[in-house]
Copies of this chain bind each other. A is one copy, B any other.
């Protein structure tokens, strides 16, 4: 038991990150059934699709689950209405100002967590009254902060700045990395990449196979002039980088990016031309496993590592 397991009423302080195109009701319910907290990633869903996933998730698990809500989503108010209609109890907001929806959601009985990548936004979260913070380091997949602060340096800094429950994200996918995050001051961890390569992930098999193939240096934080995003390097990323070396403007980069590339890569499986959002920890992921096995293995390794590390004394 700790502050995170108590806050969400879960067994293990493991949150499955809400990921576009990967974390629908199947993954979220599998993680929640395994004792973690599953999150439906609403960023790639229309409001009616989100409603469908929440309803399916409720049927698939009796345990708590949540929804990740990117605040820059164009139909954000429709999404919020769906969450309230369906009486979702836990919402992780990201990519926006935590002040906009925290109080409204909390007034409707929702536990609200906001994702940050720097101290400034962690302090905004405190003002907004969130129930917990996710601090996400540079090594994380997908969209990421401009400061490029890594998990190793971000977590101690945020821990020093705020007292509320803190969840570390970025670079975590095993029991040892989870233990390291707790040593840095986190109360729990949010894990994306490891669950993107799970049986229940709705990502395309081609995408999952690219995760297994990834080595160190296979991912890159790119498109920094637009919104920085960590992707597996492929033909599309090479084209972006070539354009950047030539001094491409924002508009030119936006033209290269176009629309729908994340869906193209992660959901439709075009691994050359799509965006493949994944974290650096993909370098040590080498097997697609059921989400329940992933949770179990992480906790087993965590407990063994904690015992070993606890015996160290100099």
Which residues of chain A have a CB within 8 Å of any CB of chain B?
2, 5, 11-13, 118-119, 137-139, 146-154, 156-157, 160, 170-172, 174, 176-177, 179-185, 215-217, 220-221, 245-247, 279-281, 283-284, 299, 302-303, 305-307, 309-314
Contacts and interface: CB of A to CB of B under 8 A. Distances in A.
A216 B183 contact: no
A32 to B, nearest CB: 16
Contacts of A310: 306-307, 309-311
B13 A280 contact: no
B176 A153 contact: no
B139 A156 contact: no
Contact of A156 (B149, B156, B174, B314): B174
A148 B183 contact: no
Given A152-B170, A157-B284, A180-B181, 20 more contacts: A119-B215, A138-B138, A139-B152, A149-B283, A150-B150, A150-B171, A152-B172, A153-B177, A153-B283, A153-B284, A156-B284, A177-B183, A179-B183, A182-B309, A247-B247, A299-B314, A306-B312, A309-B309, A309-B310, A310-B311
Nearest to A312: B306
A15 to B, nearest CB: 14
B150 A152 contact: yes
Contact of A216 (B157, B172, B280): B157
Contacts of A247: 245-247
Given A139-B150, A310-B306, A314-B299, A119 B181 contact: no
12 contacts: A2-B312, A138-B138, A138-B139, A146-B217, A147-B216, A148-B220, A152-B170, A152-B172, A152-B280, A153-B177, A160-B284, A182-B309
